[in-house]
Structure formats: C-alpha cells, structure tokens
A and B are shown apart, each in its own frame.
Chain A
C-alpha cells in the first residue's frame, strides 16, 4: 500500500483495523461528551431562568441576532461555564462537537505516518492547517 521504501512501523493491514477502531471510539466519545454537555446546559439554562419556560416575549431574543447576544469567544465560553451558566456549558458542548472532525483529521495524520505514507501525511496536515486557519480567520474577520 505504501510507496516508500521504508518499512512501516505497523503492518498497514493491522494498522487499518486498530486505527479504525481507535478513531471511531474517539468520535463516539466526543459525540457522547458533547451530548451530555448540551443536555445539561439546556436544563441548567431553563432552571436558572424560569421565565424562559413561560415568557412569550423572551422568544424574540432567541430568534433575532440584533436582539440577543451569543457567546462568540472561547474566553466567554470558559468564564460562562465556570460560573455555571447554562449557555456556557452548551457552547462548550458545541465546541467539543465541532472539534470531533478536527480530531479525526489529526488522528488520520498519525495513521498515515505509521503507514509511512508521507504524501498523505502532508496532504492531511494541509487539511488540518486549513481547518485551524478557518478558526483563526474567523477571529480576525
């Protein structure tokens, strides 16, 4: 499978199986952690702000960006979470979820490196770089 003359650390066929299981377990863990945070955050939000259960005017702030503010910086998310605010916990859960594909790409770099597939180590690293670039650009834009 590999085109280079070096011997792979792990036989590609075995690596494939082991890595696939590793990757899918990691993905599943990420999704579950995210789900727990999301649900906990939702419950806490409604528990701390009972008017959300019954108020009809509060809905407008949820629907229009001009009326409500959402956390859009990691520092905000951390401080909100540490203060036990539901919104922060939800955003944390969402960030974990968003991270799962990024982690998957990073793990794939490891897989390709173990298979001594240098071209794809580069290609996958480039994809990871673009993903991180997107985050950085977003912050600046």
Chain B
C-alpha cells in the first residue's frame, strides 16, 4: 500500500474538511448519517487509521443528527415515544458494539464495514411503498401509546398511523446499535427499514425518527471511543465542521433533488466503495 507522504497536516485537514462537506450535504439530501461515506474516505483516500476514522465518524453522525433534528422536531414528524422506547435497544447495542470494536482487529472492521455498506446500498434501492392500511394490533404499542399522527405536506392532510411489531423492532434496533457502536456509523440504513417494514411507521416519520435516534445511539458509542483515545481532535474537528457546513448548505441552497438518478448513482458508488473496503480487509 502506497504511503501518502505528500500531505502536510494542513492539507490533510483541509482535504478532510472538503470531503466531509460533501458527505454532509449528500447525507442531508439522502437521509444518511454520513458515516458511511466518511469512514471509507478517511481510510481509503487519506490513509487514516480505521480507529481514528471511526471516532471521527461518530462525531459526524452526532453533528448531522443534532443539526438536522432541530427542523424535524418542529415539524412534529419525529415519533418521540417510539424513538425513546427503541433507544432502549440501540443504546445497549451501541455499548456492546463499541466494546467489541475495541477487541476486534482492524481488518475485520473493514470486512464488516464492506458488508454493511453493500447492504445499505441495496436497501436504498428498495421501493418505498406506504404500508397497507391493516396494521396488526400490538399490545405493547397500545400500552405505551406509540401510535401517532403527522401532517403530510405533500398530501396536505393530517395522517394518523398505528405502530406494531414492538418486539421485532426492539431487537432490530439492538442490532443497529451494535453495528453503530462497532463501525462508527449512524445505522440509519438499518433503523429506517426496521421502523418502516417491521413497525409500519410511515416513511417520513421513520426518517425523521431515525435521524433523532442516530444521534443518541452515537452519543453512547462516542463516550467509549473518547476514553479509548479513538477520537483524534485534528481528524474529528475538520470532519465535524465539514459535515455541519455541508448539511447546512444542502438544506438551504439545494432544492430537494430526490431524483432516481441521484439515488441510483449513489448506490453504484456505495457498492464500489463497499467492494474496496472488503478488499482492504481481506488483503490487509
């Protein structure tokens, strides 16, 4: 592997900042936490050790979540009760994952990352259908009153929905938490389908709720990374700053370009990068 001796710290920080801006804007557009772009970029492009990359990425996830969440909460899209209930699963998962991440060798992290990335890419291609009207009853959902409603701007009406699959959802969230703690990503790609398919939350609510949740899950891992010395200030700072700027630019200047072409291109790029990560893990 070619050692990159051309960079000075200033150039490295500047480069990381630029890439993070891109990750932040893309993440805000497509509803990702950005970690899935940042870890490969830092490790493959800039030769940063994967532990520093994961530490920086988890900070970026929090930046994305806290930055964007302000808007979602205002719109009443986030199902706070469902989020808190499911956070029971994700936080425990994140602690497990973060611990595991400290024991597992770097090469395995690359391999697992490649697999998760590939899966996330395919998840993005999935057609987003609204769930059918008949939602099976769920006693726990009733008891905790997880059902909700939101105002759909596109359809210009208040939409009520029922929530189900609480046990399945909680288990899936634990898994999402483990992946998040292990790889330093937001796991939005795992959370949104879990809420959407298993628990039947409307897609917009799932996205908003996931955005809130990834921040909390990331905070659980971040504490462990920090104490382990995985968060390098000179790597994490340009990443966090870049993501914040990128997400802000994306939401202010660019219109919501949710076109299929962007999505498909992104999926192709994700699949290619996941292949690169797998190769790096296998080759060492």
Query: A residues touching B (Cβ–Cβ < 8 Å)?
Result: 1, 3, 16, 20-21, 23-25, 27-28, 30-31, 34-35, 38-39, 41-42, 45-46, 52-56, 58-59, 62-65, 68-73, 86-87, 90-91, 93-95, 97-102, 104-105, 108, 111, 119-120, 123-124, 126-127, 130-131, 133-135, 137-139, 141
Q: Does B49 contact A42, Cβ atoms closer than 8 Å?
A: no
Q: Mark B54-79, 1 if CB is under 8 A from A, else 0.
A: 00000100110111011101101000
Q: Does A42 contact B13, Cβ atoms closer than 8 Å?
A: yes
Q: Does A63 contact B69, Cβ atoms closer than 8 Å?
A: no
Residue of B nearest to A72 (CB): B229
In the assembled complex, which residues on chain A have CB atoms less than 8 Å from the CB atom of B244?
31, 35
Q: Does B222 contact A98, Cβ atoms closer than 8 Å?
A: yes
Q: Does B66 contact A138, Cβ atoms closer than 8 Å?
A: no
Cα–Cα, bound, A131→B215 (Å): 12
Q: Does B234 contact A62, Cβ atoms closer than 8 Å?
A: yes
Q: Which of B10, B63, B231 contacts A52 (CB 8 A)?
A: B10
Chief secondary structure at chain B's binding surface? helix
Cα–Cα, bound, A109→B69 (Å): 17
Q: Does A39 contact B234, Cβ atoms closer than 8 Å?
A: no
Chief secondary structure at chain A's binding surface? helix
In the assembled complex, which residues on chain A have CB atoms less than 8 Å from the CB atom of B70?
24-25, 27-28
Residue of B nearest to A45 (CB): B234
**How many A-B pairs fall under 8 Å by CB?**
211
Q: Which of B49, B69, B229 contacts A64 (CB 8 A)?
A: B49
6 more A-B residue pairs beyond the given contacts A97-B62, A101-B62, A135-B223, with a C-beta to C-beta distance below 8 A: A16-B76, A39-B241, A127-B91, A131-B219, A134-B94, A134-B223
In the assembled complex, which residues on chain A have CB atoms less than 8 Å from the CB atom of B240?
34-35, 38, 93-94, 97
B218 CB to closest chain A CB, in angstroms?
Answer: 7
In the assembled complex, which residues on chain B have CB atoms less than 8 Å from the CB atom of A102?
216, 219
Given A28-B70, A72-B227, A98-B62, CB of A120 within 8 Å of CB of B81: yes
Cα–Cα, bound, A122→B35 (Å): 31
In the assembled complex, which residues on chain B have CB atoms less than 8 Å from the CB atom of A31?
63, 66-67, 244
- Which 5 pairs show the lowest CB-CB distances between chains A and B? A138-B227, A135-B223, A90-B233, A138-B224, A24-B70
In the assembled complex, which residues on chain A have CB atoms less than 8 Å from the CB atom of B6?
56
